[in-house]
Amino acid sequence: MVRGKASAIGAVAAAVLPLAAAPAHAAAPPEATVVPIQVTGDPAKRFNLVIMGDGYTAADMPKFRTHLAKHLNDLWTIEPFASYRSYVNVYAVEIPSGESGVSCDPDLSSPRHKTPLSMGFWGGCQQNGLQRLLVMDEDAAKTYADLVPGATTGNRQILALANSDTYGGAGGTYATASGGNALSALIAPHELGHSLGGLDDEYDYYQRGVPGGTYTGPEPTSIHHTLLTEQEMTTQKKKWWRWLGERSEAGGTIGRYEGGLYSSKGVWRPSRHSMMKTLGYYYDQVGRERMTERISAKVNLVQSNTPTEQPVGTDRVLWVEALHPTGHSLSITWTVDDKPLRNAGANLDLSRLHLQSGAHTVKATVTDPTDFVRDPAIRSSAALTQVRTWTVDTRLETPPTQVPVDFTSTSPTDLPVGGKSVVFAETTHPVQDVPEVRWELDGRNVRGNDRDIDLGRFRLHEGTHRLVARVGSQTRTWTVDAGRPTVQYELSKAAWSQTRPGHTPEYLFDGPFTMRLTGTDDRPGVVVSEFRVDGDGWFNYFGWPTDSQAPFLFTENGTVIDSLTYGKLGKGRHVVEYRAIDSAGNVGDARKFVVTLR
């Protein structure tokens, strides 16, 4: 049960379990096609999200592409995926199935299909399985993922979508989700929380509708479950003590809430509801920190650098190419013989240091300063901090080389960038000088860093802008979408309403009412709408759990669907806020109305 006035907006998905044995007799491996969806760099140097479908015939393939797009549109609005989207390549593996659909969908008595991944509900058609537990043949999934060049088990994550409208998914080594359910796009990030983040379920039940018992085990190894009190966490500096008292990204305050690990009592979690408990909300800070670490660990912060194996002379430039998150810049600091240098950036011209004769040690330290991480151990790990070290010998001279000045990699130019994005442009690396990147915004020269520019500091007015980077005779151009999306709401007929210019609209209902949100933007692309009630966490508007085209229904005690309660709104006055996020990552202004249920 979900408690509180508006906390029963919805509760969630499938368990984190080993992917059970899938239905036998998988179909013979058909021809599969790898389709790049988003390529931000060399797959050997990126985190590769490989998404494949099962039970989609050749005729169903447009449906698979629609399902995939919906999943990605929602994923890019969720932190930390939104901030680290530039770390991620996305590849679709299109595998035509000889049969449409997956096994035991929706019941154990339903047909068993021969499909490439042998996907099936009920834990793989197990008599004692859970309907929502959607499993597959892991070996087959790996075989198809291996078709993506440069993607390895160390730098990729597999997500498989079933051709089904039934609610379900799983998160073991690989993640699964049904493709067409109203909640499907929210199941996927929950399951990625398991598969990628190693996060546990925060449900207080295992079988829906059957409350879990009292937890009797030792202190959980889970980072977001504990037996400790808040005082004990703080005193012992354990679990989520660094986040206690913060406003939770999933609503409410980071604290200690009873229930989790399928037990209703005797164990506590950080937030009243987060993505690992209730679909539609964000990860709270504890989960977000872990996901940031795991995404970053799939890549190298330093993508390339001046070779370190041999000593270098003082007549050359040292350089590092670091990754570029979409919302902030990585920090690059330099030391010479352990003495820090100021304002060096990504390039260090040794000739300007006037070093004394002899050998010197130069270090470049690349660190991600993200606010998503507070644990020093994570901050100092290779996921978020990397060091490159050179020996500099003043006696050495560098042979002359001819390196043409050009761009080597940039933020993608084929899609608009958001009005608060960080746009980057890497160049070639001549041995003895630094190519200057010159930036123009709407025809006006502006200052950026040596390899990126933070558009957020310009506070761009609504609309479309043009950003140009120049190096030598080469240019790159981006369209900047600074227009914020908007949302229109539609409520069912109220008993009384008052809408006056300059005032918050108010509505009175004598019973259940519905709310439909429709997001719009000034540019093509999908808009994701969100709402929150009485200042609680922002909640993804997905329509209604049984029909994404139906509006959300609010009632005094909520509506029970598959043993979960949705839309519980106690009697009295409530403030409903709503906003939208567009495909460029722009977040619209939050607006609100007041509703009274009597």
CATH of the domain at 545: 2.60.40
- pLDDT reported for residue 344: 86
Q: What is the distance of C-alpha 382 from the center of its chain?
A: 20
Q: Are 130 and 209 in contact (CB under 8 A)?
A: no
H or E stretch at 581: strand 572-581
Name the more confident of 431 and 3.
Answer: 431
Nearest to 368 by CA among 328, 420, 410, 426: 328
Instruction: Indicate if the pLDDT at residue 352 is higher than 50.
Output: yes
Q: Confidence band (pLDDT; 50, 70, 90) for 7?
A: very low
Q: Distances in Å between the alpha carbon of 74 and those of 128, 183, 305, 561, 580?
A: 33, 11, 35, 23, 11
* Pair (475, 501) in one structural domain: no
Mean pLDDT of 271-289: 97
Instruction: Indicate if the pLDDT at residue 26 is higher than 50.
Output: no
| Average pLDDT score over the chain | 93
Phi, psi (degrees; rounded to nearest 5) at 235? -65, -45
Cα distance between residue 577 and residue 589, in whole Å: 10
* Pair (51, 163) in one structural domain: yes
Q: Are 200 and 276 in contact (CB under 8 A)?
A: yes
Q: Is 389 contained in some domain?
A: yes
What b/e readout covers 276-293, taking b as 16+ CB neighbours within 10 angstroms? bbbbbbbbbbbbbbbbbb
Q: Are 250 and 224 in contact (CB under 8 A)?
A: no
Cα distance between residue 383 and residue 367, in whole Å: 9
Amino acid at 363: K
* Pair (491, 564) in one structural domain: yes
* Pair (491, 473) in one structural domain: no
Cα distance between residue 545 and residue 278, in whole Å: 13
Structure tokens at 487: 């949302």
- pLDDT reported for residue 401: 85
* Pair (363, 425) in one structural domain: no
Q: Identify the burial level of 461 via C-beta atoms within 10 angstroms of its C-beta, where 0-12 means exposed, 13-18 middle and 19 or more buried.
A: exposed
* Pair (189, 111) in one structural domain: yes
Structure tokens at 465: 């802008």
* Pair (389, 477) in one structural domain: no
* Pair (509, 561) in one structural domain: yes
- pLDDT reported for residue 400: 82
* Pair (338, 476) in one structural domain: no
pLDDT tens digits, residue range 288-297? 999 999 999 9
Q: Are 220 and 227 in contact (CB under 8 A)?
A: yes
Instruction: Indicate if the pLDDT at residue 237 is higher than 60.
Output: yes
Domain that holds residue 515: 486-597
The model scores a pTM over 0.75: yes
* Pair (77, 176) in one structural domain: yes
Q: Residue 62 belongs to a domain with what CATH number? A: 3.40.390.10
* Pair (354, 491) in one structural domain: no
Q: What is the distance of C-alpha 102 from the center of its chain?
A: 27
Q: How many distinct structural domains can be found in the chain?
A: 4
Q: Are 20 and 104 in contact (CB under 8 A)?
A: no
Q: Confidence band (pLDDT; 50, 70, 90) for 525?
A: confident
- pLDDT reported for residue 28: 46
pLDDT tens digits, residue range 373-423? 999 999 999 999 999 999 999 999 988 888 999 999 999 999 899 999 999
Strand pairing class (474-481; 464-471): antiparallel
Q: Distances in Å between the alpha carbon of 321 and those of 155, 270, 295, 332, 368?
A: 19, 37, 19, 10, 14
- SS3 sequence, 222-288? CCCCECCCHHHHHHHCCCCHHHCCCECCCCCECCCEEEECCEEEEEEECCCCCCCCCECECCCHHHH
Q: Is 94 contained in some domain?
A: yes
